[in-house]
């Protein structure tokens, strides 16, 4: 069985939902994971923020406006009067629940509950649409089997056991529709897998059922060798290894959630990236296969803060580094890049929520320099650090001020820290020169 995930754009209009129906209706049994309709999650987050800020009338207005969008979609999507009525009733119940949230005291749990409604809406509508079209599908509530543990990691044993149960209960169906992104936490409260988490849902399910393949369907024909938002003439990459895809996703390739390949790589379950608007395009196949060829792709990650930490007194290196890392661990802040010397360390973080607290702790024993508005440019390819043309990238970037370089930590990745203002120029220069030198 295959697992197919469709993003918000893929179910963002009646026309696109029809495309999805045509893609999945091939006679094969499959699980289909859906995101919320495009724009819905952003609106739900905005509603949640209004409640937090006690802008209650604004929250109510946003809820009413969003409800109208769904009513319009239902009328275009469902010609069957009985199905139209039942889906309208379901949508009304969802929005009544949202309206009730406005009068509640804001909490993280309340926000999780609010943002979960988008996937519940899209899957209920789409499953009803399939039934109207004579396709035997079943709706599998993700909250019946998707769960994270106390460390916010997938509870794989729980997921395996419970998804087998719900599949068996609906074994007569040919297509199973379920929600991406949402899950229960260790306390049985509604939670989620963070933005882009529907990709992660798909591969978690794929690993749980040992799927033949996981397909991630979006509005672009695979992962490109550079960011098409900033660089012209980029090209999709036919094949990537799990390691290469993981590096690109973590360092800014928006097409994939950073954890997407983690659940499936141990069982060698391939992940294929496809374009809903152009289903016959090859896309990108991610598997255990590797190929030589130097740098395959470039990604950039913004919102980076660089911190230079220099020992204020002659601590031994191991004691100094130990104290530094303990502070970041205490405040649950991950480090992306790091370079060290005997008495200093430079590192980067992409989560600055506890930056002031971290700096206060560091300043007790070190001299600190902080650079904000930084970007990490990541160059990825199999054994890229050993490739004969790798040195040329430093010639290409001789006019770019490079704050840090991570070289050798991974054989598949070279990372450069630059000022965000230089990002687009850097991506364009690399695209113009590097890919002329390297055969992809």
Strand partners, 366: 311
> Do 84 and 208 have their domain in common?
yes
Which strand (E) or helix (H) includes residue 355?
helix 355-362
Point out the domain boundary residue: 170, 201, 219.
Answer: 219
Confidence of residue 130 (pLDDT cuts 50, 70, 90): very high
Q: Kindly report the average pLDDT of the chain as a whole number.
A: 91
Point out the domain boundary residue: 186, 204, 219.
Answer: 219
pLDDT of residue 132: 96
pLDDT digits (tens, 9 = 90+) for 275-311: 999 999 999 999 998 776 678 889 999 999 999 999 8
pLDDT of residue 318: 66
At a CB cut-off of 8 Å and minimum separation 6, what does 234 contact? 224, 225, 226, 227, 228, 431
Q: How far is CA 213 from CA 17, 172, 210, in A?
A: 22, 21, 9
Which strand (E) or helix (H) includes residue 419?
strand 413-419
> Do 308 and 169 have their domain in common?
no
pLDDT digits (tens, 9 = 90+) for 356-365: 999 999 999 8
Point out the domain boundary residue: 219, 254, 279.
Answer: 219
DSSP helix/strand/coil, 41: helix
DSSP helix/strand/coil, 402: strand
Q: Rounded to whole angstroms, how far apart are CA atoms 202 and 33?
A: 6
Task: Report the CATH number at residue 307.
Answer: 3.30.2130.10
Domain count for the chain, please give it. 2
pLDDT digits (tens, 9 = 90+) for 214-266: 999 998 888 999 988 899 888 899 999 998 998 888 887 778 888 899 999 99
> Do 313 and 165 have their domain in common?
no
pLDDT of residue 440: 40
Within a domain: residue 289?
Answer: no
Within a domain: residue 267?
Answer: no
> Do 153 and 43 have their domain in common?
yes
Report the 3 state secondary structure along 162-179: HHHHHHHHCCCCCEEEEE
pLDDT of residue 128: 97
pLDDT digits (tens, 9 = 90+) for 46-55: 999 999 999 9
Average pLDDT over residues 174-194: 95
pLDDT of 389 > 80? The answer is no
Task: Report the CATH number at residue 16.
Answer: 3.40.1160.10
Q: Rounded to whole angstroms, how far apart are CA atoms 275 and 6?
A: 10
pLDDT of 438 > 60? The answer is no
Within a domain: residue 276?
Answer: no
Within a domain: residue 249?
Answer: no
> Do 310 and 191 have their domain in common?
no
pLDDT digits (tens, 9 = 90+) for 58-108: 999 999 999 999 999 999 999 999 999 999 999 999 999 999 999 999 999
pLDDT digits (tens, 9 = 90+) for 331-347: 999 999 998 877 789 99
> Do 92 and 215 have their domain in common?
yes
> Do 172 and 39 have their domain in common?
yes
Q: Rounded to whole angstroms, how far apart are CA atoms 132 and 82?
A: 10
Which strand (E) or helix (H) includes residue 111?
helix 108-115
List the alpha helices (DSSP H) in 371-421: 392-396
Q: Rounded to whole angstroms, how far apart are CA atoms 440 and 420?
A: 27
Instruction: Tell which wins on pLDDT, 437 or 325.
Output: 325
> What is the extent of the structural domain holding 84?
2-219
pLDDT of residue 330: 96
């Amino acid at each position: 069985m295959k697992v197919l995930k469709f993003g918000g754009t893929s179910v963002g209009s009646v026309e696109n939902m029809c495309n999805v129906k045509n893609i999945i209706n091939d006679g094969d049994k499959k699980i289909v994971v859906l995101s919320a309709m495009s724009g819905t999650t952003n609106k739900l987050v905005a509603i949640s923020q209004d409640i937090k800020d006690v802008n209650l009338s604004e929250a109510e207005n946003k809820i009413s406006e969003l409800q109208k969008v769904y009513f319009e979609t239902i009328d275009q999507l469902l010609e069957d009067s009985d199905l139209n009525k039942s889906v309208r009733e379901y949508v009304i119940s969802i929005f009544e629940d949202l309206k009730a949230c406005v009068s509640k005291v804001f909490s993280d749990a309340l926000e999780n509950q609010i943002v979960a409604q988008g996937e519940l809406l899209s899957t209920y509508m789409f499953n009803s649409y399939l039934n109207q079209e004579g396709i035997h599908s079943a709706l599998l509530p993700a909250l019946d089997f998707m769960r994270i543990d106390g460390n916010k990691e997938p509870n794989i044993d729980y997921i395996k056991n419970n998804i087998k149960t719900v599949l068996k209960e609906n074994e007569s169906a040919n297509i199973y529709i379920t929600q991406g992104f949402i899950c229960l936490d260790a306390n049985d409260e509604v939670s989620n897998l963070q933005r882009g988490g529907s990709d992660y849902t798909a591969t978690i399910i794929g690993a749980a059922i040992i799927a033949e393949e996981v397909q991630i369907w979006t509005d672009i024909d695979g992962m490109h060798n550079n960011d098409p938002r900033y660089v012209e003439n980029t090209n999709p990459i036919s094949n990537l290894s799990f390691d290469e895809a993981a590096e690109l996703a973590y360092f800014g390739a928006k097409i994939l959630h950073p954890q997407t390949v983690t659940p499936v790589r141990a069982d060698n379950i391939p992940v294929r990236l496809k374009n809903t608007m152009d289903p016959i395009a090859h896309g990108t196949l991610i598997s255990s296969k590797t190929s030589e060829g130097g740098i395959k792709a470039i990604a950039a990650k913004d919102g980076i803060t660089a911190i230079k930490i220099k020992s204020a007194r002659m601590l031994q290196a191991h004691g100094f580094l130990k104290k530094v890392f303990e502070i970041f661990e205490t405040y649950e802040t991950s480090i992306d890049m790091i370079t060290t010397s005997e008495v200093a360390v430079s590192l980067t973080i992409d989560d600055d929520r506890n930056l002031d607290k971290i700096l206060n702790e560091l300043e007790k024993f070190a001299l600190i320099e902080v650079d904000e508005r930084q970007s990490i440019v990541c160059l990825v390819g199999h054994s890229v650090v050993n490739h004969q043309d790798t040195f040329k990238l430093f010639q290409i970037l001789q006019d770019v001020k490079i704050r840090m370089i991570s070289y050798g930590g991974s054989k598949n990745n070279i990372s450069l820290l630059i000022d965000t203002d230089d990002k687009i120029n850097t991506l364009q220069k690399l695209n113009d020169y590097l890919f002329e030198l390297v055969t992809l």
